[in-house]
C-alpha cells in the first residue's frame, strides 16, 4: 500500500518526528511504499542541517538522511513554512529537499493513506 506522511512539529520539541520515523520503518519492513514525507508548520525544522543534537541521544536529522538517501524516500520541507523559519536551500539535511505545498496536495491524491504526525 502507498502511504504519505505529514510531520507538523519540530524534532525533539515534540515526539511527532520520532513516531513518524518508527511508523515509516515498520511500514517499509512490511513492504509498503512511502510516497513522500512532507514537513509543514514547525515540522520544516526537521530539514535544518545546522542543528547539532547531543551525542548521547538519537539524531533525528540523520534518520531523515537514512530514509531520504539510503531508502530513496522523497522528503520535502514546505518552502513557505521554511522561509518563515529560516530553513534555506543549501542548508538542509542531506536526503531532503524544499518545495511547494503542491507536493502535499500531490501526495495526498496519490497515496492510499495520508497519515499526519503532529
Partner 1 sequence: MLHMVNKSPFSNSALEEAARIASKGSPILLIEDGVYAARAGTSFAPKLADILKDHPVYVLTPDLKARAVDKLVEGVEQVDYSGFVDLVEKDKVHSWV
Partner 2 sequence: MMDEEMEVNENVKKVMFVMRKAPHGSIYSYEGLETVLITAAYEQDMTMVFVGDGVFALVKGQDTTDIGIKGFIKTYGALEHYDVEKIYVDRVSMEERGLTPDDFAIDVEVKEAEEIAALMEEQHATIPY
SS3 11: coil
Determine the Cα–Cα distance for residues 3 and 115; give it in Å rounded to an integer: 7
Q: 38 contacts which partner out of partner 2, partner 1, none, CB within 5 to 8 A by kind?
A: none
Shortest gap between Cβ of 66 and partner 2 (angstroms)?
Answer: 26
Residues binding partner 1: number (CB under 8 A): 20
- 66: region left, alpha or beta (phi > 0 left; psi from -120 to 50 alpha): alpha
Q: Which residues bind partner 2 (CB under 8 A)?
A: 6, 8, 40-41, 80-81, 84, 100-102, 104-106, 108-109, 111, 113-114, 116, 118
Could you give the residue numbers annotated as active site?
78
Amino acid at each position: 500500500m502507498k502511504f504519505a506522511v505529514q510531520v507538523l512539529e519540530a524534532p525533539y520539541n515534540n515526539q511527532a518526528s520520532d513516531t513518524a520515523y518508527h511508523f515509516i520503518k515498520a511500514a517499509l519492513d512490511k513492504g509498503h511504499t512511502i510516497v513522500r514525507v512532507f514537513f509543514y508548520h514547525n515540522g520544516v525544522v526537521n530539514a535544518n542541517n545546522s542543528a547539532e543534537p547531543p551525542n548521547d541521544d538519537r539524531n533525528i536529522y540523520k534518520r531523515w538522511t537514512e530514509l531520504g538517501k539510503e531508502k530513496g524516500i522523497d522528503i520535502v520541507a514546505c518552502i513557505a513554512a521554511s522561509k518563515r523559519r529560516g530553513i534555506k536551500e543549501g542548508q538542509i539535511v542531506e536526503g531532503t529537499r524544499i518545495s511547494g505545498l503542491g507536493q502535499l496536495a500531490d501526495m495526498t491524491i496519490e497515496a492510499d493513506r495520508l497519515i499526519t504526525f503532529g
